[in-house]
Chains A and B, each alone.
Chain A
Amino acid sequence: MLNYPLIISGKAISKFAKVLNLGNGSTWPGHIALNLNKKFIKQFLKKSKTKIVIIAGTNGKTTTASLITNALRHNNGKVIQNESGANLLNGIASTLIMHSSATGGLDADYAIFEIDENNLPLVLKEVTPDALLLLNLFRDQLDRYGEINTIGEKWKKSISFLSKKTTLILNSDDPLIAYMGKDTKNKKLYFGLHDSNHKNNHPQDDATDSSYCPNCNGKLIYKNKIFSHLGDWKCRKCKFKRPNPDVDFFENYPLPGTYNKYNTHAAIALLKHLKMKTAIIKQSIKDFKPAFGRQENIKYKNKNIQIYLSKNPTSFNQSLNTILDLDAKNLLIILNDRIPDGRDISWIWDTEMNRISKFKNIFVAGDRAYDMALRLKYEMGITDYQTRVKVIDNLKNGIEKAISYLEDDQILFMLPTYSGMLDARKILTGRRIL
């Protein structure tokens, strides 16, 4: 078999990289395999019986994938996932190599792949998933991903070529995502949020990305807005409107924050599609532990720290509102502008900070700490800024200083960008994840 040597050598490379601690060794084998055989993924999956789920969207991929994986394992399913950050084609190829059996098959019942927005069309050319779960499209890293409408158009086109065997799991409340299901013959399941369950405490949310109809460019009207452009929407011009969600309610959410309600509903819709019993879904969600950096609790020098990954205006606003509802008093923001964060940090000015003065102490760290400080200064005014905000040049010192301000039972809430989260976790746990 043509791919057999690639798999064997790939496994060896992966081990080698791990032993030498070469950092992100997880994408090397896939990278090499794809270079030697472009059709590697397609050929590999042809004979596989593993059910593949692809998850894409700006926010919530990792949490949703964790919820699904957790439930499937609860049900004694064998599940594989691409490793965090390995969400391009080479990451998928690597995951396949690492989990391939001696016969060249895949040693798993389910494979859950998180895919980067830009790479979804490329991946769908190689992989025919059992289910494609699309969460949302928010403004994020315009320098890397481009405008959300452009991404939406690319997605729509690649979905039109998708096999009819793939079930679409779509967010009914995000117009651009719901549009992905329009005029397709694929089976569809929608998830959303039931309006009467939701009280909008933060009506002034967000820079709007998508208040125009993806179908006809007409202005959308909202009966109810949950946050950003998510809600119960309808186009006045072409009458395209929010599809009725199949899942819009759950009694016990595993994590705080409205965005996690969406992630939970998305996971439930998918698990229902996989015919999992409701009782098992409920139990597995009850036992759920968050993925790293997603509302993760870390104990450091006997102090409590909670990390809320905040990488674009919507996720930042949602994190801020969630922790303020938990009566947070101490905040550490880490703003980096490395490639995984996006080089352009102008998004910080699109965040909503009107409740920021509820914090007692605000620490700012990261490569672009002064830009965040400037943002806070213009929001809070000079006096308030000077009394509450402290800019820290070095992250480790920043964390030490921030925890020294904590009163006994207080928690330090950390809102980092992606690379800031990895740096902070390394300091807090003494380990690297990637």
Chain B
Amino acid sequence: MTQKLKAKSYQLNIGWLYPELMSTYGDKGNIMTLQKRCEWRGIEVKIINIDQRSKIPDLKTIDLLFAGGAQDREQSIVIQNLKKHETEIRKLIEKEVPALFVCGAPQLFGKYYEPSIGKRLDGLGIFDIETIHAGPQKKRLTGNVIAKIINKNILNTKYPILHSGIIVGFENHGGRTYLGKYAKPFAMVIKGYGNNGEDGTEGVVYKNAIGSYLHGPLLPKNPGIADWLITKAITTKYKQKVTLAPLDNAVSNQAKSVIARRLGIKL
């Protein structure tokens, strides 16, 4: 049974991985959306930056994890450092702490990333995915995207906003990501390229961790995903089911409709 606790009693620590190095495509917008949607409901939030200076105790307190996109040079700096935090991050994901990794981030959390020039970068292997950069001559996969969430773990939460499961975003990636045997896709593209421009899949999900190529940023125009992450964070932390108070999503719906209309999709 759903139990309503006084929202005030909830407190979440949102961990932002490498905010300086991995903040290329308005990623601050994803953090702001999580933070404000908690605060507007009286849920206390602390944003904890996880970077080169962080220690293991910082990571242990994280209730929701986020990482954004990085430029190639920054990505190679991050990957060297990320290995230090590998065990703790893996522990968080395994105990069902929700996470969102967008743009370049999923590449780091997959099995490996093969850049167009230079050595193959081994990722943390949390997602069973492989990413290969097709080389500077191959075209980047760029443009507005509209997709439908197909991942049952996310859809079954029965969030009104997620009902149609339609999400919008913008993609811009040279890398092509392929799902392995154990990987479950996050969504299927209706318009756009998605993981590789071939099989129609977009993103990947493992436990409560979502990887996605969509920025835009993703959460402001798709607040249902933000609410799903917040719900999962509370459920995991307080071992309690929770129903978040509804918020007015009119502006995000209108922003979403502009893209849907342009791509000829009815919401």
Contacts and interface: CB of A to CB of B under 8 A. Distances in A.
B187 to A, nearest CB: 18
Given A147-B72, A370-B258, A371-B255, A346 B170 contact: yes
Interface stretch (B23-31, B123-131, B201-209, B232-240): B23-31
Contacts of B71: 147-150
Given A346-B215, A375-B29, A207 B23 contact: yes
A147 B70 CA distance: 10
Contact of B254 (A148, A367, A370): A370
Contact of B142 (A150, A343, A350, A368): A343
A160 to B, nearest CB: 18
Contacts of B248: 382
B170 A344 contact: yes
A23 to B, nearest CB: 23
Binding site of A, secondary structure by majority: helix, strand, loop or mixed? helix
A142 interface: yes
Interface string B215-259: 111001100000000000000000000000000100110110010
A347 to B, nearest CB: 6
Nearest to A148: B71
B26 A368 contact: no
A175 B246 CA distance: 47
Contact of B36 (A207, A378, A391): A378
B28 A143 contact: no
A143 B73 contact: no
Nearest to B39: A381
Contact of B24 (A142, A150, A211): A142
Given A142-B24, A346-B26, A370-B258, A217 B73 contact: yes
Contacts of A368: 255, 258
A422 interface: no
Interface string B139-166: 0001110000000000000000000000
- Which of A212, A349, A375, A381 counts the most B-chain CB atoms under 10 A from its CB? A349
Which of B29, B142, B216 is packed against the most chain A CB atoms within 10 Å?
B29
B25 A142 contact: yes
Contact-residue bracket for chain A: 20 to 34
Given A143-B172, A208-B20, A368-B258, A374 B27 contact: no
A378 B33 contact: yes
Contacts of A350: 23, 26, 28
A348 interface: yes
B73 to A, nearest CB: 5
A378 B26 contact: no
B5 interface: no
Contacts of A373: 251, 254-255
Interface of B: 20, 23-29, 32-33, 36, 40, 71-74, 77, 142-144, 170, 172, 215-217, 220-221, 248, 251-252, 254-255, 258
7 contacts: A343-B144, A344-B172, A349-B220, A370-B255, A375-B29, A378-B36, A381-B36
